[in-house]
Amino acid sequence: MRSPWAREYRRTPETYIWGTEPSSFARRVAALLPSAARVLDLGCGEGRDSVYFAAQGFHVVGVDASRAGIAKARRLAEARGVRVRWLVGDMARLTYPRPFDLIYSCGAIHYVPRLQRARFFSRLQSVTLAGGVHAHVVFTDREVYVEKGEVIDYFTPGELAAAYAGWLILHREEGRIACSQDGTPHHHSVESFIARAPAQGETGATQPSAKE
Ligand SMILES: C[S@@+](CC[C@H](N)C(=O)[O-])C[C@H]1O[C@@H](n2cnc3c(N)ncnc32)[C@H](O)[C@@H]1O
């Protein structure tokens, strides 16, 4: 397994290592959605963002490779009184049952091996409604800190934009996040990325050039 987090969730059944409050990225993305939007949260972990989306009135599917993570997520949803459809499995191999208004991931899709990514993105795009949104936070190769033996094909600058050719890029920002999950304070370099699919009848967006 490339990701160490299943092991960590099994080790910490009573606590939420990512917390129970939503990420700031989830809050930002939620503001872009229509009411009752259909949301897919890839690598949802212990459920903090899936549960937040459900509390906004969205119809949410949360996917994670870790059964222990999903068990915590399920508990959080019950405690908050919201319904989420939980799926355990490899996000790159699951079949998604219906089209979505939002496909979202926070800190998760960099675990999908680079060799699988072209097919992965094309499958995700094929289950997205016209005008729908994809939003990802990924680790990039600018500042590499390997944690708990994880195996990551770090995203390169521009890799996400290339995967979303023809989509309108709404937001793209590089940054650093502080982390100390392994007990040593460190940083990861990240890119946050939000893009909108062409609306019905549109052929695809022309991106503004760097000079504009
Ligand atoms: C850094 S955690 C982020 C969890 C959650 N998105 C959050 O922000 O709280 C990354 C998550 O991706 C999950 N993951 C890694 N590889 C996966 C895969 N191939 N399919 C599904 N989930 C995966 C891990 O189990 C872990 O829960």
pTM: 0.94
pLDDT score of 155: 97
**Residues 6 or more apart in contact with residue 156 via CB below 8 angstroms:** 140, 141
Residue 26 Cβ contacting ligand 1 at under 6 Å: no
| Shortest-distance Cα residue to atom 8 of ligand 1 | 106
Q: How many angstroms separate the CA atoms of 178 and 185, rounded?
A: 7
Q: Which residue's alpha carbon is at the smallest distance from atom 17 of ligand 1?
A: 65
Predicted confidence (pLDDT) per residue in 44-76, tens digit: 999 999 999 999 999 999 999 999 999 999 999
What mean pLDDT comes out for the span 19-43?
98
Instruction: Judge whether 2 and 113 are in contact, CB under 8 Å.
Output: yes
pLDDT the model gives residue 50: 98
> 207: buried, middle or exposed (CB in 10 Å: 19+, 13-18, 0-12)?
middle
**CB 101 near ligand 1, within 6 Å:** no
Does residue 52 belong to any structural domain of this protein?
yes
What is the number of domains present in the chain?
Answer: 1
The answer to whether position 9 is within a domain reads yes
Distance 57 CA to ligand 1 centre (A): 23
Per-residue pLDDT, averaged over 106-115, amounts to: 96
User: How far, in Å, CA of 11 to CA of 103, rounded?
Assistant: 29
Output the pLDDT for position 211: 38
Q: Which residue has the tokens 């940054």?
A: 175
The domain of 122 spans 5-176
- CATH number of residue 98's parent domain: 3.40.50.150
Does the beta carbon of 44 lie inside 6 Å of ligand 1?
A: yes
